[in-house]
Amino acid sequence: HPSRNMNEYALRNRIGAYSKVARAPFLTLPVTLVLLGSATAWVADGFDLLAASLAFVGLLSLHVSINARNEYRDYQSGVDFETEPTPFSGGSKTLPEGDIEPIAAKRLATATAGLGAIIGGYFIIDVGLVLVPITILGAVSVLFYTSHLTRFGLGELFAGLGLGGLAVLGTGVVQVGSITPAMVVGSVPPTLLTFNLLLLNEFPDQEADRRGDRRNLIHRLGRSAAAKVYVGAGVGVSLSVGGGWVIGLFPVWALLGVLPSLLLARPVMWALGAPGNSLPLDAQRDNVLWILGTNSLLAAGLVLPGFL
């Protein structure tokens, strides 16, 4: 049946286009954030698989919403036509290439934001008002990231919060019902990690972002100073993990979370040595692996004592 085969082919292409707009390869990050948030709940003897699973669906929805909204806005502003795509930056090029209509990306962003809001509302009713400030900051990060925050040099910070620390804190709170010191300290490394994820990936898009009226830290500080901020935040990740152990909130196994910092060698050498040059692709790759590895190993280190 040729017509059925053609319909199946068209459907696969459309699903593939939606997955590209959602930036599917980057959706490993929320997995590691929920693992880490659940590990902080485990430390407080409050792990709840059902709540953790629902938190994951909500966080995944919000991450897809940010990505799809970013794709739509970058298409509208013309940024997407200026960037050189890499596996880690430059956009998916799905909209400029006409794989799906821009309005479809906007609808995906709206639908997934709505799903995230419904789950967030459920948790506020179930857990209480302690979640309200976390939810509000998360909503600001999702709804105003591309339209406002990136224009005022706040994109990196709010990405670090919304897709980093607040996600970990919220995941822990919905399982335990309150904020614990371990959750607060445990939210610091992922804030810095996601901050750095965005910051480093902005270097290749510097000129395209400028023409699209974005004003991120690279535009405000210059490449050299912004690269030093990247290095400082990277050091801060290891210090915050070690600090959690020193003050007695983390078990010694949490120091496993420091090991992935070995992957910082390439990006740090570039940042300190030649930030004016093009960012090497292997430095971008190592940056992503460092982020995912740190979240995952820190989570493992927090729960390991329960099995030993």
Which pLDDT score, from 0 to 100, does residue 132 have? 93
Those residues whose C-beta lies under 8 Å from the C-beta of residue 201, and which sit 6 or more positions away, are 88, 89, 284, 287
Contact at 8 Å (CB) between 48 and 171?
A: no
- Token output for 251: 């078990």
Which pLDDT score, from 0 to 100, does residue 2 have? 58
Is position 135 within any domain?
Answer: yes
**Cβ atoms within 10 Å of 285's Cβ, excluding its own:** 16
User: In terms of pTM, does the model score above 0.85?
Assistant: yes
Give the range of the structural domain holding residue 125, as residue numbers without chain letter: 26-215+222-301
Which pLDDT score, from 0 to 100, does residue 213 have? 77
Is position 53 within any domain?
Answer: yes
Please report which helix (H) or strand (E) contains residue 131, including its range: none
Is position 21 within any domain?
Answer: no
Q: What angle (nearest 5°) sits at the alpha carbon of residue 231, between those of residues 227 and 235?
A: 165
Of 169, 135, 215, the C-alpha closest to 40 is: 169
Is position 49 within any domain?
Answer: yes
Is position 3 within any domain?
Answer: no
Is position 7 within any domain?
Answer: no
Which pLDDT score, from 0 to 100, does residue 3 have? 59
Which pLDDT score, from 0 to 100, does residue 1 have? 56
**Residue 84 region, left (φ>0) first, then alpha (ψ -120 to 50), else beta?**
beta
Is position 151 within any domain?
Answer: yes
Q: Residue 257's domain is classified under what CATH number?
A: 1.10.600
**Can you tell me the distance from the alpha carbon of 298 to that of 128, in angstroms, rounded to the nearest whole number?**
28
DSSP state of 274: -
Structural domains of the chain, count? 1
**Cβ atoms within 10 Å of 114's Cβ, excluding its own:** 12
**Can you tell me the distance from the alpha carbon of 131 to that of 179, in angstroms, rounded to the nearest whole number?**
9
Contact at 8 Å (CB) between 203 and 156?
A: no
Is position 104 within any domain?
Answer: yes
- Which ranges in the chain belong to alpha helices (H)? 2-21, 28-43, 49-77, 102-127, 132-144, 155-160, 166-176, 181-186, 188-202, 206-211, 217-221, 223-246, 265-273, 281-303
**Can you tell me the distance from the alpha carbon of 59 to that of 170, in angstroms, rounded to the nearest whole number?**
10
The packing angle between helices 223-246 and 265-273, to 10°, is 140
Give pLDDT < 70 ranges for the chain: 1-6, 9, 90-91, 146
